[in-house]
């Protein structure tokens, strides 16, 4: 088996994250790394509340995915967060709240 067909866990999870739909072909033809990653995402996203332990299983699967995609942290450091994802909100206070008056500091 050629080594170029092997994927790391992070690469497999990122691939499934970018391509969430199951392929239309046979699942027997799917590489094992993709099959395992897709099943992990299915477990994490579709817990059955009628089955005892299913929500706990989904929570563990979510933790596995989160730890592998964002990384874990060392004790005493800040939590692992993505820095490149930023949200820019529109300032809804424009025209409603008057800007602060410029005051002289010597009075």
Q: What is the pLDDT of residues 51-63, one digit of tens each?
A: 888 888 888 998 8
* Residue 98, domain member (yes or no): no
Q: How many domains does the chain have?
A: 1
Question: Is residue 59 a part of any domain in this protein?
Answer: yes
Answer whether residue 103 is part of any domain.
Answer: no
Separation of CA 102 from chain center? 45
| CA–CA dist 16, 88 (Å, integer) | 28
- pLDDT tens digits, 50-100: 888 888 888 899 888 888 887 776 777 776 666 665 556 666 666 667 766
């Amino acid at each position: 088996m050629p080594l170029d067909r092997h994927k790391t866990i992070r690469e497999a999870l990122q691939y499934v994250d970018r391509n969430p739909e199951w392929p239309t072909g046979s699942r027997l033809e799917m590489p094992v790394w993709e099959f395992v990653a897709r099943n992990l995402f299915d477990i994490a996203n579709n817990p059955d509340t009628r089955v005892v332990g299913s929500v706990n299983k989904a929570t563990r699967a979510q933790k596995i995915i989160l730890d592998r995609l964002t990384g874990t942290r060392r004790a005493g450091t800040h939590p692992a967060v993505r820095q490149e994802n930023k949200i820019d909100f529109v300032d809804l206070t424009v025209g409603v709240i008057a800007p602060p008056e410029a005051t002289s500091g010597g009075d």
